[in-house]
Chain A
Amino acid sequence: MDLAINPFSSGTRLRDMIRSIRACKTAAEERAVVRRECAAIRAAISEGDQDYRHRNMAKLMFIHMLGYPTHFGQMECLKLIAAAGFPEKRIGYLGLMLLLDERQEVLMLVTNSLKQDLNHSNQFIVGLALCALGNICSAEMARDLAPEVERLLQNRDPNTKKKAALCSIRIVRKVPDLAENFMSAAASLLKEKHHGVLISAVQLCTELCKASDEALEYLRKNCLEGLVRVLRDVSNSSYAPEYDIGGITDPFLHIRVLKLMRTLGQGDADCSEYINDILAQVATKTESNKNAGNAILYECVETIMGIEATSGLRVLAINILGRFLSNRDNNIRYVALNMLMKAIAVDTQAVQRHRATILECVKDADVSIRKRALELVYLLVNDTNAKPLTKELVDYLEVSDQDFKEDLTAKICSIVEKFSQDKLWYLDQMFRVLSLAGNYVKDDVWHALIVLMSNASELQGYSVRSLYKTLQACGEQESLVRVAVWCIGEYGEMLVNNISMLDMEEPITVTESDAVDAVEVTLKRYSADVTTRAMCLVSLLKLSSRFPPTSERIKEIVAQNKGNTVLELQQRSIEFSSIIQRHQSIKSSLLERMPVLDEANYLVKRAASTQATVSSVKSAPAVTPGGPLKLPNGVAKPPAAPLADLLDLSSDDAPVTTSAPATAPKDFLQDLLGIGLTDSSPTGGAPSTSTDLLMDLLSIGSSPVQNGPPTSNVNLPGIAETKSAPVSPQVVDLLDGLSSSTSIPDENAAYPTITAFQSATLRITFSFKKQPGKPQETTISASFTNLATTTFTDFVFQAAVPKFIQLRLDPASSSTLPAGGNGSVTQSLTVTNNQHGQKPLAMRIRMSYKVNGEDRLEQGQISNFPAGL
């Protein structure tokens, strides 16, 4: 731009400036013009130019509207307001409202000018001041100027009165304590005839009711009659051209009065009764062929729903909504849906009748209508209609546009979870939602799905097969992929062998390598995120144990991630590779199925942390199976929590002894590591603590997990028995032996009796009982049997538990154990597991007794408690 032909100076007219700004072809040009103009205005301000002050301010406002900074003009506004003439004041107040807001401290400087102007003899200047105060006043100004405004409410001029009334609204909003000062003046304004004053006064009354209960009571007593009269007059009035809109006189006043009536009638039977008739009149007589009429009907219906209306009136209101709902105008349908939400509380049945129409609205092209309708459908779902409604919604999910899917998915998931009566239905719906909108399914929803599947052992086969099929079709839906991969890893053999088929299911042929293929494809899909890939790796690892022939291939796939730049994947890859390669013997036990997840516990957790992110540490134990990312380093298997607990346990000062009740898998570990602990010495030895730690560590992977589904628990006593008869390799024999030698009846079918400890001289068995309603608490009755040939005297049993468990020991039935298994001593223990469902029970025990006066000590650790204690 050439500065020589600059047409701008502070002398340019506003019109010219606007023209030249509009003539700019590029943003840079516009900026240059504005910059120059601002510079000229600044110069004029600093020179104290008087003549063009208000013109400059007008320019500045235009520049402000374009989005340029104009702070330097704020003080100029104040000067203009302080000037004597009306034109200056007018532009000054306009600038004040545009350039400043209530948060700027400069505003405080204007309080004094405002006070003077509010007391001005010229009603137009008073009007300017009221307008500015009403639009931007702060709490301090409200306090300072409230008396002036109060006084102006009684002014003769209707223009001043209505402005003062609206200004009072702002004051009361800022300082609700002032509400009582305005109530009598507000009530007396309702006697006016001028519509502007009336509508302002009605709005002021509504605001006062909101701000103060005292005002509400006062207005209930003093203005109800006036209100009814106003409404009757305005609705009965003949054609009034000045206020006519669509053949109705002043619909705005109608609506404001109806709104105030709602406020007054809410929860007050007398008031409600008083306005019953006029509401009925408005509801029946108002024309509904124009928007203005419908606006009044809409407000009237809302008031009827809001007050203690008679049932006849409510029927009338619901009928109006029914008419609205079938209207062709989208706006009317929208407000009908909006209002039906409120009507549900009043009359659910009446709303249910419109269910089909509402459901159609969910599929409307207009997103506003869809949103309203969806909210409404959600409220309409109950046990009887949940299935058909869900089907409709899920069907629609398929074709709905992307923006709407998130809302829709969230609502469907919520309905499915709330109203599922059978698990199969729940699973089917969830699978469909996952396949259609898996990217929109929130983490806690699919975590809950996994928890449910883990509990529904009869449906696991069906689930994994369905998910496998769906995965083939919709591999792009993140949540679906995660759930599917998890299931294939856990229940892979059910997929391949068509285990636990449902009647309606068609058998599918999936080979072991097909299953591996599916996971591999997912792992390598470019859009898969880290969590999904990590889950794929775990899944592959598990498959390598489920399908030994594929192990070699899986090893290769897993190894490909050894150089991954994401640390989590790299680490998993390296660790998993080494498990596959070097720890064949422990692999199968390490990769057992996840223990059943505690459903109730998860739901409680989930409710507690709905807002918290799912990756938060708190919910980590519950979601571990779903989100294995939270595993601490160095552990290849999900149960991270038991690790911490058991380490905690072993940090107790009581040393672990070799006679720990080793379960079979633990033996493998011990063998593998070459720790010569396979034979159980009759007396408590004292091995080094380092070995203990190792043992603890290694037993972790197996102990709680091994128990697996409760059905397999029956084997456990037999396995534990191995110790007592190491010569016999056959478990079957041992089981026989067990049933003959032990006579402890299994009183509690849910939890099998276990042999908690066994040495050459002593056997301890535990049987379990739970009080109904107290899942955390378990009563264990321990039974001690002396297998040696000499009697034990001074027998004392001690037990230690990790911090999250509380233990109470009752006195033993005797302190003497007769020799040769002739009778036993019993003692009962009560344990409370504060982390029931997340962490299994664990216990360290110590038995001291005397044999022929000689002290003996035996110790052990019990980690083969049945699952679910």
Chain B
Amino acid sequence: MIRFILLQNRQGKTRLAKYYVPLEDSEKHKVEYEVHRLVVNRDPKFTNFVEVTRFRTHKVIYRRYAGLFFSICVDITDNELAYLECIHLFVEILDHFFSNVCELDLVFNFHKVYLILDEFILAGELQETSKKAIIERMGELEKLE
């Protein structure tokens, strides 16, 4: 199960934070700080997985796209490679939706990013695996606005 998803830039500014487990605000900030610290300095040749010392039973799967880090915290028994693929699919969906996504799109349309994520992942589990289906669904939702 996914514990949380973070989208951070290289400076550590959080652009998206979705928690599927309840955490205090102060804990959230600590987690965001720590995840950023863990992933930002890793060599690109290294694995995309880091074990978080703070909570031994979880690990963070991250992937870097230009200056943005997408990090997913999952149970220690979950399939790391699958979540890596999952991050990529999410990025493709964003890219498609914003047509050539950049960090600023995510800043100004943060609420839309959350909506896309809610169509992709729900209750910490994968909801839809088709990029096309999600984009179509977003189109329908946009029409209702």
Contact = CB atoms under 8 A, between A and B. Distances in A.
Contacts of A645: none
A125 to B, nearest CB: 9
Nearest to A371: B51
B66 interface: no
A18 interface: yes
A331 interface: yes
B79 A334 contact: no
Given A196-B133, A291-B84, A369-B47, A101 B122 contact: no
A866 B83 CA distance: 67
A53 B121 CA distance: 27
B49 A334 contact: yes
B118 A131 contact: yes
A162 B127 contact: yes
B127 A124 contact: no
A103 B22 contact: yes
Interface in B114-145: 114-115, 118, 122-133, 137, 140-141, 144-145
Contacts of B132: 242
A135 B79 contact: no
B58 to A, nearest CB: 13
Contact of B123 (A87, A124, A166, A291): A166
A786 B131 CA distance: 105
B51 A243 contact: no
Interface in B86-103: 86, 89
B134 to A, nearest CB: 9
A166 B125 contact: yes
Contacts of A796: none
A94 interface: yes
B65 interface: no
A427 interface: no
Contacts of A243: 129-130
Interface in A580-624: none
B31 interface: no
Given A87-B144, A87-B145, A365-B43, A163 B127 contact: yes
A368 B53 CA distance: 11
Contacts of B124: 169
A251 B129 CA distance: 9
Nearest to B45: A330
B85 A334 contact: no
A245 B126 contact: no
B47 A91 contact: no
Interface in B18-70: 19-20, 22-23, 25, 29, 42-43, 45-51
A86 B115 CA distance: 14
B80 A58 contact: no
Interface stretch (A294-302, A650-658, A829-837): A294-302
Interface residues on B, range: 35 or more
| Chain A binding surface, main DSSP class | helix
Contacts of A643: none
Contacts of B111: 58, 61, 91, 94
Contacts of B49: 331, 334, 368
Choose among A195, A252, A330, A338 the residue with the greatest number of B CB atoms under 10 Å from its CB. Answer: A252
Given A22-B107, A58-B111, A203 B79 contact: no
A134 B137 CA distance: 18
A397 interface: no
Given A18-B108, A252-B82, A366-B43, A169 B129 contact: no
B79 to A, nearest CB: 5
A223 to B, nearest CB: 18
Contacts of A338: 80
A218 to B, nearest CB: 21
B125 A299 contact: no
Contacts of A103: 22
Given A15-B108, A134-B122, A166-B125, A242 B81 contact: no
A321 to B, nearest CB: 13
A363 interface: no
A91 B111 CA distance: 8
Given A58-B111, A135-B20, A292 B85 contact: yes
Contacts of A90: 115, 141, 144-145
A379 interface: no
Contacts of B123: 134-135, 166-167, 169-170
B122 A334 contact: no
A365 B14 CA distance: 28
B47 A334 contact: yes
A243 B126 CA distance: 14
Given A61-B111, A195-B130, A163 B84 contact: no
Nearest to B14: A65
Contacts of A65: 14, 17, 110
B81 A298 contact: yes
Given A195-B129, A252-B129, A330 B47 contact: yes
A293 to B, nearest CB: 9
B85 A245 contact: yes
A89 to B, nearest CB: 10
B112 to A, nearest CB: 10
A335 B82 contact: no
A76 to B, nearest CB: 15
A255 B125 contact: no
Given A134-B122, A368-B50, A335 B81 contact: yes
A131 B84 contact: no
B114 A98 contact: yes
A253 interface: yes
B85 A61 contact: no
A708 to B, nearest CB: 47
Given A87-B144, A102-B22, A135-B20, A163 B122 contact: yes
Nearest to A252: B129
A291 B122 contact: no
Nearest to B104: A22
A124 B140 contact: yes
A844 interface: no
Interface of A: 15, 18, 22, 58, 61-62, 65, 67, 69, 86-87, 90-91, 94, 97-98, 101-103, 124, 130-131, 134-136, 159, 162-163, 166-167, 169-170, 195-196, 199-200, 203, 242-243, 245, 250-253, 255-256, 259, 291-292, 294-295, 298-299, 302, 330-335, 338, 365-369, 371
**In the complex, the 4 A-B pairs of residues with the closest C-beta atoms, listed nearest first:** A295-B81, A134-B123, A366-B46, A166-B122
13 contacts: A65-B14, A69-B25, A90-B115, A101-B19, A124-B141, A135-B20, A167-B123, A169-B123, A196-B127, A251-B82, A295-B82, A333-B47, A366-B47
Given A90-B145, A94-B115, 13 more contacts: A18-B108, A87-B144, A135-B122, A163-B127, A200-B125, A245-B89, A255-B82, A295-B79, A299-B82, A331-B80, A365-B43, A365-B45, A369-B46
